[in-house]
Structure 1
Amino acid sequence: MTAISSPPAAVPHPATIPPIAPGKARMALFGLLGFSAGLPFYMFSTVLTLRLQAHGVALVVIGFFAWVQLLPTFKFLWAPLLDRYDVPGFARFWGKRRGWVLLSQLGIFSAMVGMALTAGDQSLGVTALFAVLLAFWTTTLEVAADAWRIELAPTQDEQGPIVAANLWGYRSAMVAAGSGALLIADASGWSAAYLGIAAAAIAPFPLLLATAPDRPGTHGRWTALAHGLAASAAILALVLVVTAALGWVVLESASAAGIGSQSNVTPYVLGICMLPFIAMAIALPKIRRAAPTSRLRRSAAIGPYVDFFWRYGFGAIVLLGFVSIYRMGDVLALNLSKPMIRDLGYTLAQIGRADSVIALAASMVGVGVGGFLVTRWPMAWTLALGAVFAAIGNFGFVWLAWQPPSEALLYIATGADQFGNGMAGAIFVVYLSLLVNPRFPGAQYAFLSGFAFLLPRLLSGAGGAMVGTIGYNGFFALSGIVSLAAIPFLPALSGIRPRASDLPA
């Protein structure tokens, strides 16, 4: 199997690249950014599902909450804003990328406090509102960090160590938050759990403020901070109002369509999953003929995405089919693994302990192995190996269900899942980064990484209904098989080459 090639790296304009030193300092920076993004993730996914289960919410409705995680798949809708605009105040002193990171951290903190204050889940609409806000600001932080990473390290060899550091920070924070939240919830309740993780989530904020500015010679740190905080408050309030209005429209539309806790939405979701590929096939001929001066390619809103299809042609459909399947097994398992383990008789404290040292160590090793392999092996081989270990992790839950409750066995299943997830995740991030045109790093990576989870998260929202039909064992066996289904794509990917850009430098 040959290596999957990537387009030649272009050099971004010097004004867009902050003066971050290479080596350990750069890895430490992206480890911190990974930590910032990883802390909130379980709080609107697995921890939230356990919280809803504890309050007697129906499994089908818990499955619907997985659609909160759809938001990151649509980050391409606002990612161009992060490439084009600055956050007032913050950007003047700390630069464009760090300014968006600071705003996002404030958004994460405020959303987490909102979830803590509504932890009784007496209104599922309000619970969903703050969960969506948390997902939005977490995603915005990831968009800013990803664009910064691709600008600083455009090649495969440079990406490996930085991606590993970023995922070490991300997964360590994610696992620590998940286990910590469950242990706190078991002792002091769900409100205390969300407030505790909110306090940890805001901790990197002063560290980023204290580091050197991204624009040498810039003065007025305190003035910039005051302006940045005022602008952030206005932006957070605006996003809250817009999100609440959109949420009301969605809930009213679902109610009018008769969608409720007993609805089987799986057939409709499968149909929706086909629509993006049909739309791409229809649009591609026109995109491939577009000249550099066409409105399609010059548009600030859609130009970066048109560029991807222009370069890869119909190969783009194959690429997007592959990336939408590669992590599907892990995404399907994410939201329902903890409710299944809870139903097997394990306590919140036992799940929290399994998700602490065991999950963290296994995840770190998996990320390290994946980050190492992409610097030594052809990309196709590493992708295949990552898919195999991801499948093994999912099959581990089927094995666990057939065993008598034992905390040691829970540790084994959790460790296998986290190792495979970490390994496949590190490899996948590098692969997606190499598909990106360095002219549009933030927007194109947001599109690719978002699309990669669009179909899996659509299907995961129907997970509760699927479990009702085929049971937990059938569901997790299916998720493992889906992970392996990405491997047959690899020979075809090796023959896909982007055409050279004809855009002016």
Structure 2
Amino acid sequence: MTAPEATSDTPATPEPKPAVTSWRDSFAVYLQPRVLIVLLLGFSSGLPLALSGSTLQVWMKEAGVDLGTIGLLALIGTPYTLKFLWAPLVDALHVPLFTQVFGRRRGWLLLSQLVLMATILVLAVADPARSPWFAAFAALLVATASSTQDIVVDAFRVESLPESEQAAGMASYVAAYRVGMLVSTAGALFIVSGFESAGLARPSAWMWGYVVMAALVVIGIVTALAATEPAQSKGAEAATHAQNAAERVLHAALGAFSEFLSRKDAFAALAFVVLFKFTDAFSGTMTAPFVIDIGFSKVDYAAIVKGVGLAATLIGGFAGGFVARRYSLATSLWIGGVLQAIANLSFSWLAHVGV
């Protein structure tokens, strides 16, 4: 039998209404085990950033290292910029023993975290007053291990979360990343000050402060052990099992770069990414030693970062979202660029006013 044709007397079957997600369901996605794993990995990614950046610069300033040398230490952050160069290696190569036991993503994750803990401990025993360049080299190792961890966490997050949980996962990751940065800036400075108040000499206080930061890497290690290898990673590993290491690396590298370069105005986009926040990167690198140099204490700086700094970051994030929703992309970028210039000019005013 054929279905009767719809007539004016035959009521049309109503289309199902799209399901409305309740507030409870929207919140519940953040409690999914996969999202919680990503949240804890976000903390692990954010923790090391300041240890080779602003916190290290405060340490060096207190150790008597001149501002010119501290400014050159901005190069320590180079691995975060160039990590795309060895991302294909991380994506394609297997880690002996780790990959067999934990899988491709978790194996690299655990290896990078163990190396990260070891390099932070090496930095802890460095003495910037006597050998600032050894401390800088140790910090470069920390940045390299940290950026490698970032590569793996990004891949793990994308592969382990279904599309419906990607937004919640990214929001959780960014929030926890900020908390990790807060712990390694304000938290580390408060810990060092606490050790000094307990009677430790300043070099010993800084050493034990960094040891505490190294111990916090355990949070990421436990998270990696508790996680499960993404199904997508297992499938990719099985598909490339017959290829040798060189073939896997070449395939991953060519695929990533050719896909990007095939896009319209790829080089213009790359230049924009590099240059739009160029001055912000320079001023951000020197903020901590500059604030200490004009007379603020590290406890003052920690309080600013923890209080006003965190509030400004959160408010700025919501404001940026509003601007991007209200105006065109080009207009939003102009607004951001002008505000960025004004913010950097405020350092000149602060240098004139002082504490």
TM-score (normalizing by structure 2): 0.74
CA RMSD of superposed structures (Å): 3.2
| Distance of 1:210 and 1:152 partners within structure 2 | 13
Distance 2:167 2:321 in 1: 5
Match of 2:20 in 1: none
Inter-partner Cα distance in structure 2 for 1:362 and 1:176: 17
The reply on whether 1:339 has 2:289 as its aligned counterpart is yes
Q: Is the 8 A contact 1:33 1:166 kept in 2?
A: yes
| Counterpart residue type for residue 274 of structure 2 | S
Residue in 1 aligned with 2:211?
A: 195
Deviations 1:67-110 (A, max 9, x none): 11112222123111111123344434543223222211111111
Residue in 1 aligned with 2:223? 207
Q: Contact 1:93/1:213 (CA < 8 Å) preserved in 2? A: no
1:209-288 alignment, distance < 5 Å: 209-214=225-230
1:40 counterpart SS class: coil
Against the structure 1 CA distance between its residues 329 and 308, is the aligned structure 2 distance closer, same or farther, given a 3 Å change threshold? farther
Count of residue correspondences: 303
Q: Give me the identity figure in percent.
A: 32
What is residue 186 of structure 1 aligned with on the other side? 193
- Runs of 5+ unmatched residues, structure 2: 1-27, 196-204, 235-248
2:278 corresponds to which residue? 328
What residue number does 2:347 align with? Answer: 397
SS of the counterpart of 1:72? helix
2: CA distance, partners of 1:381 / 1:38: 30
Contact 2:159 2:230 in 1 (8 A): no
Say whether the 8 Å CA contact 2:121–2:214 is kept in structure 1. Answer: yes
Which residue in 2 is equivalent to 1:41? 49
Q: Structure 1 residues 301, 213: closer, same or farther in 2, change over 3 A? A: closer
Q: Take 2:341 and 2:218, find their aligned partners in 1: how far apart are those partners?
A: 35
- SS of the equivalent of 2:176 reads helix
Change (3 A) 1:34 1:390: farther
Query: d(CA) in 2 for partners of 1:154 and 1:121?
Result: 50
- 2-structure distance, mates of 1:375, 1:111: 42
Deviation at 1:120, TM superposition (A): 4.8
Shift of 1:135: 0.4
Contact 1:163/1:371 (CA < 8 Å) preserved in 2? no
CA distance in 1, matches of 2:230, 2:161: 17
Q: Structure 1 residues 347, 70: CA separation in 2 closer, same or farther (over 3 Å shift)?
A: same
Aligned letter for 1:312? Answer: R
1:316-465 aligned at under 5 Å gives the runs 316-368=266-318, 370=320, 379-405=329-355
Q: Between Structure 1 and Structure 2, whose CA radius of gyration is higher?
A: 2
Aligned to 1:174: 181
Q: How far off is 1:53 after superposition?
A: 1.7
> What letter is aligned with 2:90?
L
User: 2:66 maps to what in 1?
Assistant: 58
Query: In structure 2, what is the equivalent of residue 130 of structure 1?
Result: 138
TM-superposition CA deviations, 1:2-51 (whole Å, max 9, x none): xxxxxxxxxxxxxxxxxxx9754344333222211111111111111122
- Call closer, same or farther: CA 1:102–1:374 in 2, change over 3 Å: farther
User: Distance between the aligned counterparts of 1:304 and 1:323, measured in 2?
Assistant: 21
1:163 and 2:113 equivalent? no
After superposition, give the CA deviation of every residue in 1:139-176 in whole Å (9 maximum; x if it has no partner): 00111122234446798x97654433222111221122
Letter in 2 for 1:197: M
Q: Is the 8 A contact 2:65 2:128 kept in 1?
A: no
| Distance in 2 of aligned mates of 1:213 and 1:148 | 8
CA contact (8 A) 1:95 1:215 kept: no
In structure 2, relative to structure 1, the CA distance for the partners of 1:211 and 1:303 (3 Å cut) is closer
Give the match's secondary structure for 1:300. helix
- In structure 2, distance between residues paired with 1:95 and 1:375: 41
Letter in 2 for 1:202: V
The aligned residue for residue 495 of structure 1 is none
**Change in 2 beyond 3 A, CA 1:120/1:58:** closer
SS of equivalent residue, structure 1 residue 30: helix
> How far 1:385 moved relative to its partner?
4.4
Equivalent residue for 2:245?
none
Specify whether residues 29 and 367 from structure 1 end up closer, same or farther in structure 2 by C-alpha distance, changes over 3 A only.
Answer: farther
- Answer yes or no: is the 8 Å Cα contact 2:87–2:151 preserved in 1: yes
